Structure 1
């Protein structure tokens, strides 16, 4: 309609704002918020009394009667990189057109699994909001992470797009017949599929290549080492250069599997509490969950190994290729005390030989989303919209308005959004709805968002454990806005009440809900329980040489330092892993142990850092004055 105001994805208004990690005097300023917020629809948050207590912290992960199979987190197979290198020169332009070039390159890198970190994150997952709930705030893996870390496109046609010509349908039929024959005669379908097609130099090889890539590295199958016939039409479309929105489908599968894992953990804990000896719950995780671990490494400096140096042109995930996991003595404590060192915008910082996406700009700007806007900026607009993600076999809520600070946008009270329970076609039509002529606010990459005073007040009314439980963990002052955060920050836990409606369904600290009982993912079977020796606790994460040297100088209690131990296994059979059983990564490893008083040392280091920074600034000012006088 003529004269109609354009839609706004981000709303702008004046509010009293405060940093999330501290409680200083509020500042009245112009702030930006993702829709929908409670202020925009005049809705008030509701609070519910706690009704259940959590048994999760009563056990270490190694004590859960749980067996996991990771079919979506498999190392690159032998000769896979060779095949990628052979196909790349000929098909690179097609891959770029289809939006999969970087995603294919990402599949050549290996990410070693860190179970301790993975369980720590899974405990804090809330299926109702598809987010991680920590005492200091709410975070999640978003479409932005899927773009940057996975290389997947979030715009394009749906993955369910049917084949539209007789020629393509006949091609699909012939390949399905071949796949059926191979399944009957071969033990290793992935390897034999590669041997059959690699080096043939035809369009059929290209489709077969993409078919294997989708089945092994994008959408894992129910059974290990199998190829999913439902992905063949997707491979054919991609081989023809059709851009498909793989990103939302990948993220939907990650949300689905994290929720299934959380609910299975609760069920296994209940088994343990009931004393059901011999009962083991089995769960197959098909999503590319390595992206969750890399997401955590990017954002929790104290939990990650030292990143690799990147070569020019490599994808971001190359930073984490092949790195040995760190063993953490108490992952729960590190995650829950990470508020001052959590990296809300890790991709906005400079990394050598890595180019920023176009939506990380130096100066904030309002833009109009239209057909002339760059595809990367269109993708950023898609990352900010509340919607439902349509996967291969699931539909999941996507709620970026709950984690606005991850996009460099301020956080207000988020209103509750519920699943529509519509058909995949309806859900996709809403996701893919054109957003032309919408006003898009793109923040400066150097900006760090704040929260409204009402958000901070609401969050602090939650009922997390009291601060007395963390005696010895000290509060650090927040780093200056727009400056690099300390890598060694540690803080007192916020007192939060998780019985608030936000996150809805999060009825107590670890979201006690009754688990799903889908036969596809969860089954109870008789089995022998594993030995608990050597399980958690491992060591306490990465410590810099600076900390080690100052420890000696101050003559504090020595921190035992162990050898790295034997190399981790990297074969196909390692897809079967449990918190304890069959985990052959780092069995003979020595661990570092850091006690709570050691965190006081980190606070001293943080203060020393600030003093050094001030001295450097004074020295630079003196030099400039000297030059001016000359």
Structure 2
């Protein structure tokens, strides 16, 4: 095995994926380029959603992601950032020093709200699938292996993109819930596949409350995105424990991290 570079420490870096760079001939081989999951910014914002998004603080972010053009992700760039991430300090170690994304970066790049109560969501109910199907009026398809989905499939949510004008507020809110879950799938990609974690269903329902309801709570979603970024980078920086033919998954809000870099 090759000697550690001067900036690395044998004790602290024994589990870092940089070991696969140092010893590419080892049992795990060299490190792989990460895969990116979650929806892309292809869902155009419907103007009927604007009042709901405005009071929740999500309108600037929705406007930013409402583009017919696909944002091109660079998995190699994101992978190179992971290789420079230090879980002990939550910073990137570059040649010129340490840097890290901050709450100000989240606010300036994404427009997500920082004010509000912390986004601490309760676990999904055991009956979340049946309840959500009843709410949306459509059945969620099973997986290829005929198992229950671990979340709301993103490919299923796109069925709610188009809906006619002149419909009731209840129908608008139903499509808004699908749109919100699409946004949350972008902000908080899941390691369980191309699905949205069901814990976000109740948050989407809360934001889609009738407009005459003045008790809606605003959440600090920007803070949650920064926490997710730190956690995703920390999880990704650990080297594999076994050989796998499938590339590892990076679970962060990719557009934010790429624009920040």
Q: Distance in 2 between matches of 1:172 and 1:115?
A: 32
User: Hey, what does 1:104 align to over in structure 2?
Assistant: 62
Question: Measured at CA, do residues 220 and 136 of structure 1 come closer, stay the same or move farther in structure 2, by a change above 3 Å?
Answer: same
Change in CA separation of 1:136 and 1:197 when aligned onto 2, cut-off 3 Å: closer
Deviation for aligned residue 1:138: 1.5
Deviations 1:438-464 (A, max 9, x none): xxxxxxxxxxxxxxxxxxxxxxxxxxx
Alignment equivalent of 1:195, drawn from 153, 159, 173: 159
By how many angstroms is 1:128 displaced? 1.1
Alignment match of 1:285 (pick from 235, 241, 250): 250
Gaps of 5+ in 2: 1-7, 123-127, 210-215
Does the Cα contact within 8 Å between 1:125 and 1:259 map onto a contact in 2? yes
Per-residue deviation, 1:57: 5.3
Is the CA contact (8 Å cut-off) linking 2:33 and 2:75 kept in structure 1? no
2:197 aligned to 219, 228, 233, which one?
Answer: 228
**Residues 121 and 172 of structure 1: is their aligned pair in 2 closer, same or farther, counting only changes over 3 Å?**
closer
Give 3-state SS (helix, strand or coil) of 2:195's partner.
Answer: coil
State the SS of the aligned residue for 1:132.
Answer: strand
Alignment partners' CA distance in 2, 1:253 and 1:205: 26
1:117 aligns with 2:77: yes
Q: Given that residues 77 and 258 in structure 2 are in contact (C-alpha distance below 8 angstroms), is that contact kept between their aligned partners in structure 1?
A: yes
CA RMSD after TM alignment: 3.6
Question: Greater CA radius of gyration, 1 or 2?
Answer: 1
Distance 1:123 1:65 in 2: 9
Shift, 1:133, TM fit: 1.8
Check conservation: 1:190, 1:212, Cα contact below 8 A.
yes
TM-score, normalised by the number of residues in structure 1: 0.31
1:129-170 deviation per Cα after TM superposition (whole angstroms, max 9, x unaligned): 1111224322101111111111211111233367xxxxxxxx
Contact 2:20 2:31 in 1 (8 A): no
Distance 1:91 1:246, change over 3 A: same
Q: Whole-Å Cα distance in 2 between the matches of residues 67 and 234 of structure 1?
A: 33
Residue 66 (structure 1) aligned with residue 27 (structure 2): no
- CA distance in 1 between partners of 2:259 and 2:162 (Å): 30
Structure 1 Cα separation of the partners of residues 231 and 78 of structure 2: 15
Measure, in 1, the Cα distance between the counterparts of 2:253 and 2:163: 27
Q: Deviations over 1:79-100 (max 9, x none)?
A: x22xx1xx22x33233122110
1:281 and 1:126, CA in 2 relative to 1: closer, same or farther beyond 3 A?
farther
Whole-Å separation in 2 of the counterparts to 1:185 and 1:121: 33
Equivalent runs, 1:120-519 vs 2, <5 Å = 120-160=80-120, 174-177=131-134, 181-184=139-142, 189-196=153-160, 198-199=162-163, 201=167, 202=171, 203-215=173-185, 217-240=186-209, 241-264=216-239, 267=240, 279-280=244-245, 282-296=247-261
Segment drifting more, 133-142 vs 189-198: 189-198
Kindly provide the CA deviation profile for residues 447-493 of structure 1, in whole angstroms up to 9, marking residues without a partner as x: xxxxxxxxxxxxxxxxxxxxxxxxxxxxxxxxxxxxxxxxxxxxxxx
* Number of equivalences: 220
Q: Relative to structure 1, is the Cα distance of residues 64 and 247 closer, same or farther in structure 2, using a 3 angstrom cutoff?
A: same
Q: Tell whether the 8 Å contact from 1:126 to 1:133 is kept in structure 2 after alignment.
A: yes
What SS is found at the alignment partner of 1:129? coil
Q: What's the offset of the Cα at 1:233?
A: 0.8
Over 3 Å counting, the alpha-carbon distance change for 1:192 and 1:55 in structure 2 is closer
Q: Distance in 1 between matches of 2:221 and 2:251?
A: 15
Please give the residue correspondences for 1:9-48 in structure 2 after superposition, counting only pairs within 5 Å: none
How far did residue 238 of structure 1 move? 1.9
**Greater relative CO (CA pairs within 8 A, separation 6+):** 2
CA contact (8 A) 2:160 2:178 kept: no
For the residues of structure 1 that align with 2:33 and 2:96, how far apart are their CA atoms?
A: 31
Aligned to 1:406: none
What is the rounded CA distance, in whole Å, between the counterparts of 2:76 and 2:23 in structure 1? 13
Alignment partners' CA distance in 1, 2:259 and 2:78: 10
